[in-house]
């Protein structure tokens, strides 16, 4: 398995451990304490603990699903000539004549301030499968943006 997948799994396992502890240790204690206050219909602490329990349980389900997806991640199947996970893409904002560079990463790795955007973000999705020279239109909250892919470095080139 790749270093990327191992790093992602480690990050997910850390969050799973924290949430698992909260779900099975902290929240049951909070619920017991809230029940001791009496009438559960008007007990805000009890309602909050139950809502949090539901949220934590749902998040754990998402994390376990994501772990399974990452376990199946095979970087050798990624294209060598088109933008995909791990690619670094230099774009020209056609309207503003401004260049920017992004690295396509998973949602867990995304950090827009560092130029790391998720493949599931609007720009990330629009870039998937593009080659150098391709033009891309992206619907953003600020309107449609038009880019040209100026340079592409895939995960295979980056190694």
pLDDT in tens, 65-83: 888 777 766 767 778 899 9
Question: What is the C-alpha to C-alpha distance for residues 154 and 159, in angstroms, rounded to an integer?
Answer: 9
Contacts of 38 (CB under 8 A, 6+ apart): none
For the chain, give every domain's residue range.
3-73, 77-158
Question: What pLDDT sits at residue 99?
Answer: 94
Q: Which tokens sit at 58?
A: 């749902």
Task: Give domain 3-73's CATH number out of 3.20.20.70, 3.40.50.300, 1.10.3080.10, 1.10.287.180.
Answer: 1.10.287.180
Task: Give the confidence band of 4 by pLDDT, cuts at 50, 70, 90.
Answer: low
Alpha-carbon radius of gyration of the chain: 22
Is pTM beyond 0.85? Reply is no
Question: What is the C-alpha to C-alpha distance for residues 57 and 104, in angstroms, rounded to an integer?
Answer: 29
Architecture of domain 77-158: Roll (3.10)
Task: Between 110 and 75, name the one with better pLDDT.
Answer: 110
Question: What is the C-alpha to C-alpha distance for residues 4 and 74, in angstroms, rounded to an integer?
Answer: 11
């Amino acid at each position: 398995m790749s270093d990327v997948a191992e790093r992602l799994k480690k990050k997910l396992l850390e969050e799973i451990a924290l949430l698992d502890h909260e779900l099975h240790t902290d929240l049951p204690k909070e619920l017991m304490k809230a029940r001791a206050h009496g009438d559960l219909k008007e007990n805000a602490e009890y309602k909050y603990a139950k809502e949090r329990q539901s949220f934590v349980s749902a998040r754990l389900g998402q994390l376990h699903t994501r772990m399974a997806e990452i376990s199946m991640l095979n970087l050798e199947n990624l294209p060598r000539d088109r933008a995909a996970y791990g690619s670094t893409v230099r774009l020209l904002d056609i309207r503003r004549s401004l260049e920017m560079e992004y690295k396509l990463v998973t949602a867990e790795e995304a950090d827009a301030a560092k130029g790391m955007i998720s493949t599931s973000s609007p720009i990330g999705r629009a870039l998937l499968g593009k080659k150098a020279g391709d033009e891309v239109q992206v619907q953003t909250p600020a309107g449609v943006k038009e880019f040209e892919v100026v340079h592409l470095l895939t995960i295979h080139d980056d190694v």
